[in-house]
Amino acid sequence: MRLIIDIPEPKETMSQACAVPLATRGMRWSESCLGQSAKETGVYVIHHCGVIKYVGKTDAPTMSFGMRLRREFHETASSGKHNYPKLALLSVPPKIMVSFFPSKAIDALVKTEGLTIDTWGKVEVFEMALIHAYAPEFQRHHVARITKQIGKYGIAKEVLEHLLKAKQQS
């Protein structure tokens, strides 16, 4: 069995992005800032000033980027927890940017030989791979949890170590 994941360079990922505003309590947040990506599902990358801050995914095949990012960027929807307080501390301008990897694109970036992983499984694997490859500033504490999760998919520990080593060299 073989799993092959093509991970774009961080600069390439950040070059395709849209600005996403924060909305404090009482303000309205609209998914229209996400353009055509608003209704899609997959993995997203939050970045600011050329630094990747967070990698996440829509939490279910039926949850869109619009629904998910509302919970990240709207103070009320986030209950003032998770990433919202960290995002609120960023100096704006420059704007907080988000890049998207829709499920269809991920399907082409995650390939298998000798095993079958459905589209949602590929989204989960791709999210984990990006977290390890990009080492987002807000997620450095997730490395142990993700290592355990990757093991559940039968991905060799050496693959993970290779990803981490490659990231440290870049």
Report the percentage of the chain scoring pLDDT > 70.
Answer: 89
- The three-class DSSP label of residue 156 is coil
Amino acid at 69: L
Task: Report the number of distinct structural domains present in the chain.
Answer: 1
| 3 occurs within a structural domain | no
| 106 occurs within a structural domain | yes
| 40 occurs within a structural domain | yes
Contact 105, 80 (CB under 8 A): no
Q: What is the dihedral of CA 68, 36, 50, 63, to 10 degrees?
A: 20
| 1 occurs within a structural domain | no
* Each residue's pLDDT tens digit, 48-74: 999 999 999 998 888 999 999 999 999
Please give the residue range of the domain that contains residue 94: 9-169
The model's pTM is 0.82
* Each residue's pLDDT tens digit, 76-124: 998 878 899 999 999 988 999 999 999 999 999 999 999 999 999 999 9
